[in-house]
Amino acid sequence: MDVSFLDKIQRYFGKSKVKPEQYSSLALAYIGDGVFDLVVRTIILDLGNGKVREFHKKTSNIVKAPSQARIIKSVLNELTEEERVVYKRARNTKSATSAKNSSIVDYRVATGFEALIGYLYLNNRLDRALDIIKQGMEREGFL
Exactly one of 7, 33, 37, 46 is catalytic; which is it? 33
Inter-residue contact 89 to 25 (CB < 8 Å)? yes
Inter-residue contact 36 to 59 (CB < 8 Å)? no
Whole-angstrom distance, CA of residue 39 vs CA of residue 36: 5
DSSP secondary structure, 37-101, as one string: HHHHHHHHHTT-S--HHHHHHHHHHHHSHHHHHHHHHHHGGGS-HHHHHHHHHHHT---SS--SS
Task: Please say if 33 is a catalytic residue.
Answer: yes
Count CB atoms within 10 A of the CB of residue 36: 24
Catalytic residues: 33
